[in-house]
Structure 1
């Protein structure tokens, strides 16, 4: 039985959007290597110490962009007066073990289990790291008012017919309908796949690695 036959509701949460880069409109040019990320004029808003540091981190913080969206959505429940910068959150996640800098200069992460602990302890939100998170479970989570960070291939932004693999990039599921899962994609393209991008259920499996992190508000009952 297809998802369109089993999902009988439509829910879209009004989650604010945050891109992986400081200037959402420049994402196509940055990803296409037409400009370097360091040329983004809004890089100081990222909280980085330099344009070069921004360049290095911005390619790696899709998970932080998802967290910023969730924190913005539940800001009244976390008590934060404003959503922290991407670098402020990345530095906290480094200390929490959700990112690990390698000796070769690379970065491991987002590491789900310590990330979920960090989100619970630091922000008071519900967070559960799920290495086995089937697509069939997403409607229940989203209908209950939760948001879900999903591991997908980055070419989901164009619904590539033949992605190289599954996973490797994080997006935030913010809604469902019988026909689609609705995502905010930190590296999506303006006006097409950044905000409230409708991904048909039958296409999701090409990109989705079947794992992620479920986020919810810090109350006994979730709200949308």
Structure 2
């Protein structure tokens, strides 16, 4: 891979990054009640953390983008603020989102980021997107953490693509289950394509 122009900090969507396998085994609302670092999320209660943390891969991506320019904002604080713009819809404990268009408005107005919703994106288009913008938040299957497997579907999870080359795409996965599948994970374009839902958000800082 080509060297990155600067280091992009990694943050998991869980405050304890190695919680992924417990979440998969027991469910988020059960497993995340055992996360000793939950207060770092910005949640006011453990219950709030356990509900939100399974739904904030997009906020983890945003936290990484902001951290790349020196700002650290807790994920659930970001989620609350994004909800105010319509980026999430909360109804009796269920959470729908991330909704892309309100997210774009949110990051522009609150953080001065230039962002663009992109659909019908071919995997081969991503290198050109990153030539124009610094980051691409890509919609992928959460099973991208197991690249040797065939995904049951595409989309439903967000990862932060930070660099590309002929050899592959480099990305941070907020719900990776090992260090190799969390920060600076690398997949060949053909493998990334198996998980990619052909949509996402390009972000400049």
Number of residue pairs aligned between Structure 1 and Structure 2: 202
**Paired residue for 2:90?**
101
Matches within 5 A, 1:151-166: 151-166=139-154
Does residue 72 of the first structure (1) align with residue 67 of the second (2)?
yes
Give yes or no for contact 1:27–1:189 (8 Å, CA) kept in 2. yes
User: 1:68, 1:110 → 2: CA distance?
Assistant: 14
Counterparts in 2 of 1:134 and 1:11: CA distance versus 1, 3 Å = farther
Residue 41 of structure 1 pairs with residue 36 of structure 2: yes
Question: How far is 1:145 from its partner?
Answer: 5.3
Instruction: Indicate conservation of the 8 Å contact 1:11/1:176, yes or no.
Output: no
Shift of 1:178: 0.6
* Aligned counterpart for 2:119 among listed residues 124, 131, 152: 131
Match of 2:136 among 132, 142, 148: 148
* Partner residue, 1:204: 192
Counterpart of 1:116 in structure 2 is 104
What is the Cα deviation at residue 37 of structure 1? Answer: 0.6
Q: Is 1:99–1:107's contact at 8 Å kept on the other side of the alignment?
A: yes
Contact 2:133–2:202 at 8 Å: present in 1 too? no
Cα distance per residue 1:65-98 (max 9 Å; x no partner): 00000001123xxxxxx41111111111110001
* 1:14 matches 2:7: yes
Indicate the RMSD between aligned Cα atoms, in angstroms: 1.7
Identify, as 1 or 2, the structure richer in helix: 2
Name 2:172's counterpart in structure 1.
Answer: 184
Greater C-alpha radius of gyration: 1
Deviation at 1:44, TM superposition (A): 0.6
Q: Is the 8 A contact 1:11 1:142 kept in 2?
A: no
- Partner of 1:66, secondary structure, is helix
The residue aligned with 2:22 is 29
- 1:79 paired residue number: none
C-alpha deviation, 1:106, in angstroms: 1.6
Q: 1 or 2 for the larger relative contact order (CA 8 Å, sep ≥6)? A: 1
SS of residue matched to 1:193: helix
User: What SS class does the counterpart of residue 59 from structure 1 fall into?
Assistant: helix
What is the TM-score with the length of structure 2 in the denominator?
0.92
Listed as ranges, the gaps of 5+ residues in structure 1 are: 1-8, 76-81, 218-224
Contact 2:19–2:31, Cα closer than 8 Å, also in 1: no
- State the partner residue of 1:59: 54
The normalised TM-score by structure 1 is: 0.84
In structure 1, the residue matched to 2:76 is 87
